[in-house]
Amino acid sequence: MNDLVKFLSEGYPILLFTKLFLGAAAVFFGIIVWSKTKKVSMILFVLGVFLMYISILTDTLTYFGFINTKFFTIGHIPILSLIFESTPIAFFIASFCTFLKERHF
C-alpha cells in the first residue's frame, strides 16, 4: 500500500491515465468520423488525433520503463520524443489549411 501511495503522490500517472482515457474516447469517435466522411480536412484531423494518442501511449510506456525514447538524441534533445510530440500538430495544421482551401459555400 505504501508503494501505491508513493506512486499516486507524484500526480503524473494520474495525468497519464486521464490522457489515455480521454484519448481513447477521441480515437473511438475519430474512427466513426473517418467512416462517415470523404473530406480530406477531416481525415487529416482524425489522423492527427490518432497520432496524438500514439504519442500519449509512447509517453506512458516510457514513464513505466517499457521503452526508451532517449537513445537517439541530438545534443540534449530526444529526437523520437520530438517527432512523436510534433507530428500530430503538423497534421492539425494541414487539416486546418485544407479546410480553409475547401469550398464550403
- Report the percentage of the chain scoring pLDDT > 70: 90
Which of 26-35, 46-55, 72-81 has the weakest average pLDDT? 72-81
Average pLDDT value over all residues in the chain = 88
Q: How many CA atoms lie within 13 A of 91 on its CB side?
A: 18
Q: What is the rounded CA–CA span in Å between residue 64 and residue 74?
A: 24
- Cell matching residue 17: 491515465
Return the H-helix or E-strand segment holding 77.
Answer: strand 77-78
Q: Residue 1 pLDDT > 50, yes or no? A: no
The residues, any chain, with a CB within 8 Å of residue 96's CB and separated by 6 or more, are 41
Q: How many CA atoms lie within 13 A of 82 on its CB side?
A: 10
Q: Residue 67 pLDDT > 80, yes or no? A: yes
Find the mean pLDDT for residues 33-41: 92
Note the pLDDT of residue 48.
Answer: 97
Return the closest-CA partner of residue 59 out of 81, 27, 39. 81
Domain extent for 61: 2-101
Q: What is the rounded CA–CA span in Å between residue 27 and residue 16?
A: 16
Q: Residue 64 pLDDT > 90, yes or no? A: no
Q: What is the pTM of this model?
A: 0.83
Note the pLDDT of residue 105.
Answer: 58
Q: Give me the number of domains the chain comprises.
A: 1
Q: How many CA atoms lie within 13 A of 62 on its CB side?
A: 16
